[in-house]
Amino acid sequence: MLARYQLFYWPGIQGRGEFVRLALEDAGAAYDHVARGSGGIDKMMAMMKGKSGNLGEKRPPFAPPFLKSGRLVIAQVANILFYLGPRLKLSPRDEASRLWLHQLQLTVTDFVKEVHDTHHPIATGLYYDDQKPEAKQYAQSFLKERVPKYLGYFEKVLEKSGGPFVLGRKATYIDLSMFQLIEGLRYAFPTAMRRIERKVPKVVDVRDRVAKRKGIKAYLASDRRIAFNEDGIFRCYPELDE
Amino acid sequence: MLARYQLFYWPGIQGRGEFVRLALEDAGAAYDHVARGSGGIDKMMAMMKGKSGNLGEKRPPFAPPFLKSGRLVIAQVANILFYLGPRLKLSPRDEASRLWLHQLQLTVTDFVKEVHDTHHPIATGLYYDDQKPEAKQYAQSFLKERVPKYLGYFEKVLEKSGGPFVLGRKATYIDLSMFQLIEGLRYAFPTAMRRIERKVPKVVDVRDRVAKRKGIKAYLASDRRIAFNEDGIFRCYPELDE
């Protein structure tokens, strides 16, 4: 029997949790999305306070998402994927390749933080409405410089690996993250992305291949995939687009 | 013989590279700081462009710091420390503890990015002088909410582990990062830190213990330790302090 994983994340958004969910769904792994169930948010908060009565007691996560696998509680998206990779057959097994894959995923982490800051450049604790002019300024250089830089980097990595996937012939969890990045950026910045995508055809091709994978296709068609919305990381505020 | 590591990072600052250097220095590992040598910056840039003629060719890093260890090139501070940890005896060896340690280090990564953004909230590509009012706004909620939240989290982890080090009885690389965080924050925000440190005595005690370690003490007294300055992550702009 497949291990049953427990994923802890905010119930109403894709957010950072989605990068983990895509891996679990692609692999057809059995998992519960705890905070979507009754009393789930209380359970999640108890884990973070170290008051859940299990290993989370001694090693509380700083923030969601986190994954419970047996007695282990693992937080930080890239760390969770590093752990899940070989178990879900979404990662090579040799140390050098695992570190390389993890390094790429950590670059995605950095990118995602910058995506988040397009609508929250001044403070996470303030509303978007309280930092709109700053968000506009931030988004301008984000779209002009940062998105082309990050996606251009992954395009170069694809050239060097020979593709069609980021690490080469076989898909790994970083490809699922490429899918999510392109989907999210298209939702948030459709105009800018039409321009930027022309420069990164290999990355876009990864997105297309991932969208056709059996587990992902089923997931996207299910009601488990929450739609993008303005509480998540990728938000559609037309005034921030080009 | 100990392996000789090659560390690639900008020559004039502590920056993110310092978290790796502290581990190498604490362990007394042999390493070259390549970009501080003649022609070193060119070498570093060639590695990033994938034009160095070694493994970096196929797997170029997105940004410094990165470490060359034999044929392996590893980027992202937390990834480098994950790799070095067992080799420098600064990490437990069992998988669960390594993942936990890594998770904590990734929380440091997030924190360090927020420190950076206190002087660059709008765009990394602009000067601080071009984003001063926004930086002031950012720094206010950073000092009021984020620093107490992050340091308070590590204080809680220390309570739960029983200390005196973050993982318990033995020092690991996360303790070196605690040292660097406290040092850097004291440099950048001396007034705010006097207030905040009173709430996190266990974290401050980790800093004091690390400062007395043989390798660290020798390093801090050497000219290899670059002083904090206003090109690095932690910058002393008095107008941003409380």
Q: For chain A, which ranges sit under pLDDT 50?
A: 1
Query: Could you read off the pLDDT of B199-214 as tens digits, one per residue?
Result: 999 999 999 999 999 9
State whether residue B134 sits within 8 Å of chain A by CB.
yes
Helix (H, G, I), strand (E, B) or coil at A156: helix
Instruction: Write out chain B in H/E/C secondary structure.
Output: CCCEEEEECCCCCCCCHHHHHHHHHHCCCEEEEHHHCCCHHHHHHHHHCCCCCCHHHCCCCCCCCEEEECCEEEECHHHHHHHHHHHCCCCCCCHHHHHHHHHHHHHHHHHHHHHHHCCCCCCCCCCHHHHHHHHHHHHHHHHHHHHHHHHHHHHHHHHHHCCCECCECCCCHHHHHHHHHHHHHHHHCHHHHHHHHCCCHHHHHHHHHHHCCHHHHHHHHCCCCCCCCCCCCCCCCHHHCC
- Shortest CA gap A85–chain B (Å): 13
Query: Could you read off the pLDDT of B27-85 as tens digits, one per residue?
Result: 999 999 999 989 999 999 998 988 776 655 789 999 999 999 998 999 999 999 999 99
The alpha carbon of A85 is separated from its chain's Cα centroid by a whole number of angstroms, namely 14
Looking at the domain that runs over B95-213, which CATH code has it been given? 1.20.1050.10
Residues of chain A in contact with residue B58, where contact means CB-CB under 8 angstroms, are 160-161
Given a cut of 90, whether residue B3 has pLDDT beyond it is no
> In angstroms, rounded to a whole number, what is the distance separating the alpha carbons of residues B147 and B141?
9
State whether residue A76 sits within 8 Å of chain B by CB.
yes
Question: Measuring CA to CA, which residue among A15, A27, A24 is closest to residue A180?
Answer: A15
CB atoms B123 and A102 under 8 Å: no
- Shortest CA gap A68–chain B (Å): 12
State whether residue A156 sits within 8 Å of chain B by CB.
yes
Q: What is the dihedral of CA A66, A20, B110, A47, to 10 degrees?
A: -10
Query: Where are the domain boundaries for CATH 3.40.30.10 in chain B?
Result: 4-87
Predicted complex ipTM exceeds 0.90: yes
Q: Which CATH number fits domain B4-87: 3.20.20.70, 3.40.30.10, 3.40.309.10, 1.10.10.10?
A: 3.40.30.10
Question: Average pLDDT in the B112-141 region?
Answer: 97
Helix (H, G, I), strand (E, B) or coil at A210: helix
Query: Could you read off the pLDDT of A16-50 as tens digits, one per residue?
Result: 999 999 999 999 999 999 999 899 999 999 988 88
* Token digits of residue A235: 């938000």
- What is the architecture, at CATH level 2, of domain A95-212? Up-down Bundle (1.20)
Total residue length of chain B: 242
Interaxial angle between packed helices B77-87 and A95-117, expressed in degrees from 0 to 180 and rounded to the nearest 10: 150
Percentage of chain B lying above the pLDDT 90 cut: 93
Neighbours of A146 (CB within 10 A): 21
Query: Where are the domain boundaries for CATH 1.20.1050.10 in chain B?
Result: 95-213
Average pLDDT, chain B: 95
